[in-house]
Amino acid sequence: MSVQGVALVTGSSSGIGFETSLTLARNGFHTYATMRKLEDGSRQITDISKNENLPLQVIQLDVNNDKSVIDAINRILKDKDRLDVVVNNAGYALGGTLEETSMDEIKAQFETNFFGAIRVMQAVIPIMRKQRRGKIVNITSTAGRISIPQYSIYNGTKFALEGLSESIQYELEPFGIKIILIEPGAVGSNFWRNIKIANRASSNPNSLYAQLANNMSKAFKKMEVNVIHPSEVAKVILDAVTSDNPQLRYVVGNDAARIIEARKNMSDREFGNLRKKQFNLQNIS
Q: Which of 63, 69, 87 is nearest to 140 (CA)?
A: 87
Burial (CB count within 10 angstroms: exposed 0-12, middle 13-18, buried 19+), residue 58: buried
Give residue-wise pLDDT tens across range 175-211. 999 999 999 998 976 666 678 888 887 777 788 888 8
The catalytically annotated residue of 32, 92, 151, 154 is 154
* For range 100-111, the mean pLDDT: 97
- Per the annotation, the verdict on 154 as an active-site residue is yes
Can you tell me the distance from the alpha carbon of 275 to that of 262, in angstroms, rounded to the nearest whole number? Answer: 11
Can you tell me the distance from the alpha carbon of 25 to that of 23, in angstroms, rounded to the nearest whole number? Answer: 5
User: Mean pLDDT of all residues in the chain?
Assistant: 93
What pLDDT was estimated at residue 188?
A: 78
Looking at CATH, the fold of the domain delimited by 5-209+228-256 is given as: Rossmann fold (3.40.50)
What pLDDT was estimated at residue 2?
A: 62
Vertex 205: Cα angle to 199 and 207 (nearest 5): 80
Q: Per-domain residue ranges for the chain?
A: 5-209+228-256
DSSP SS3 for 30: strand
Give residue-wise pLDDT tens across range 121-132. 999 999 999 999
The two most distant CA atoms of the chain are separated, in Å, by 61
Beta bridge partners of 252: 184
Beta bridge partners of 139: 182
Q: Is 53 left (phi over 0), alpha (psi -120 to 50) or beta?
A: left
> What is the number of alpha carbons within 13 Å of residue 43 lying toward its C-beta?
2
The alpha carbon of 26 is separated from its chain's Cα centroid by a whole number of angstroms, namely 21
The answer to whether residue 1 scores a pLDDT higher than 70 is: no
- Name 105's Cβ contacts closer than 8 Å, sequence gap at least 6: 94, 96, 153, 196, 198, 199
**DSSP E strands, the chain:** 5-9, 29-35, 56-60, 85-88, 94-95, 134-139, 177-184, 196-197, 249-252
